[in-house]
Chain A
Amino acid sequence: MKLNRILMPLILFFSMFIISCGPKDADIKAAVDKTIQVDNGMAGITSSVTGGVVTLTGECESETSKAKCSDLAKSVKGVKSVINNCTVQMPVLVSPDDTLRKNLTDATKDYPGVTASVNDGVVTLTGNISRANLAKLMKSVNDLQPKKVQNQLTIK
């Protein structure tokens, strides 16, 4: 009887403690990772969890996907708060082919031996150029926001 009187409150105390602890950090992390991997815009994001506080790091494609990431993490059971340290990384801007073609006409005008063609953002340079002019032409072409520049010029 005497033993029970001491043990019972102890058992009661510990069982309450265990219940109030909720899910463990590792379980929360697994659940958060599963939840935020819902679209490609969040593919590069990782989480860490300490005492139910989730910290998100990585690159998001937009402010919208960053905010959505926070919301998704908050929705996971056991999460107390979310610190979102993700950076927004805009996708690479590539000019439309028509714009590239027009701008390439202007950029190559002063280099008579050079021909530029465009296919799906990829600029291909053919013909001849002097070594002195090569870097200058490359700078002009790179400034037009191509997807890629293929230099097949013969350098003289």
Chain B
Amino acid sequence: MGLIVGVTLVSAGVILFVMLPVLRGDWASMERSDDEITDVDARKAAALRGLRDAEYDYRSGKLDQADYQILKSDLARQALEAMQEGGAAGDPANDGAPAVAGAKPAKSSPDPVESLEAEIARVRKGIGQGRTCPGCGHLNVKKSRFCTGCGVSLERRMATSAGNPESS
């Protein structure tokens, strides 16, 4: 008798528990919440991680300076694109300017996120200084005569883009 009561109680309890949301009309969310990672976040994180690894690889002698510069500019561009995309998605926190604009690569910063953010800021500043190829967007080493991204003459490109401001 006790067993029958126990089994009935367990069965009824379990069924009631499972059906409760349907009976009460409780809804589970199926949307991404605001504080979750987005695809843009994931791409940005990958680019930032790549930047950090590249710096580490460069300092530990796995990358030449020239390769490091190329890699860094590519990754920085990816991160910037992701940041701009994120901003375009309507995040008011991003006004298009880096949060720590002008900061150095955070030599004494304990937080690598901030350090990398500062790195992005530096790269963005570099773009503002005109070291980026106006043709392909590649960030070149200072005083480069040719773009290491697409190979065109930077001097000629700069001159062309200066004549046509919209092209840059």
User: Are A and B interaction partners?
Assistant: no
